[in-house]
Amino acid sequence: MTQTIGIIGSGLVGKSVAHLAVAAGYKVVISNSRGPDSLSKLVKELGPLARAGSVEEAIAAGDIVSLAIPLANFKTLPADKFVGKVVIDQTNYYPGMGDFRRTDLDQGKLTSSELIQQHLKDAKVVKGIHNIGWIHMQYNARPKGDAERTTLPIAGDDAVAKEMITRFIEAVGYNVVDAGSLADSWRIEPNTPIYFWPYAPEVPEGLTEQEAKEVYRQRGKPLSPEQARQLISTTKSPSPIGGTLEGLPPIHIALFLELASANTVEG
């Protein structure tokens, strides 16, 4: 039976996950805070395997539920609807963006995925597909056996849920390595070596902004499972904890702002 991926959030990340999922033959139910009617154009673009729904419908339909929302919005998730659900946590902690900040996250007493798991106490949360930019999420996907296939990490506390997420990520175009428990997921969070940069191409100096954008839209160098494990195992606790705009390639910020100003970023 074809599995369904329920996606909460139709912004750049949610759209990329939806495209990957339907390309791999999964059904998709995608939702956002504005309701299904706002997603008609996206659903048409995704094709017959996709439909729009409310957040509750996406949760109910999903064999796997993707959280493609800002971490700051986690309390809006209806925890009682997630009972028994396998969840991909794609959120990231960016304390410098907006007014969302938590002392327990800043002090490393809790990882962002542990925070999600606390809220969704009856779900099975797995951190994954969070450490690669939305642009390269689609561009870097490659079939099994392809020499250019790269590797993404996951972390979680439930072995069955991790296996389910692993199969999904492998199906949409990536190798997978296990980074441990949710408590260990700090090793794959923002401001760590495996976050973002390994999946983006190098942009030479001296290019115009348009030329730089064209280069940046290409895939990055492949990261082997062995290289990914090495990055994870040698990671030191980041200080400060959390991501910053300064920690991202400037051209990535430029592309994001371009899309935002064009009013194409949906949440």
From first to last of its 267 residues, the chain has per-residue pLDDT tens of 789 999 999 999 999 999 999 999 999 999 999 999 999 999 999 999 999 999 999 999 999 999 999 999 999 999 999 999 999 999 999 997 778 999 999 999 999 999 999 999 999 999 999 999 998 998 899 999 999 999 999 999 999 999 999 999 999 999 999 999 999 999 999 999 999 999 999 999 899 989 999 999 888 889 999 999 999 999 999 999 999 888 888 888 888 877 765 544 444
Structure token digits, residue 138: 């689609």
- Measured CA to CA, the distance from residue 203 to residue 247 in angstroms comes to 15
Domain containing 48 equals 4-261
45 part of a folded domain: yes
DSSP characters over 171-206: HHT-EEEE---GGGGGGGSTTSTTSSGGGS----TT
Q: Would residue 266 count as lying in a domain?
A: no
Q: Are strands 50-52 and 151-156 parallel, antiparallel or unpaired?
A: unpaired
Number of structural domains found in the chain? 1
Domain assignment present for 267: no
Give the domain CATH number at 208.
Answer: 3.40.50.720
Among the listed residues 5, 46, 1, 29, the one whose alpha carbon sits nearest the alpha carbon of residue 129: 5
Asked if residue 255 belongs to a domain, the reply is yes
Helices (H), the chain: 12-23, 40-46, 55-61, 103-106, 112-119, 134-139, 159-172, 209-216, 225-233, 250-261
The answer as to whether 97 is a domain residue is yes
**Tokens 């692993």 sit on residue:** 166
The confidence score (pLDDT) of residue 262 equals: 56
* Residue 64 belongs to a domain: yes
In a domain, 124, yes or no: yes
Distances (CA, A) of 53 to 8, 29, 34: 10, 6, 10
Find out whether 64 and 168 touch, Cβ atoms under 8 Å: yes
Token look-up 């902690």 returns 93
Cis peptide preceding 240, ω within 30 of 0: yes
The answer to the question of residue 110 being in a domain is: yes
- Check residue 39 and give its pLDDT: 97
pLDDT at 249: 85
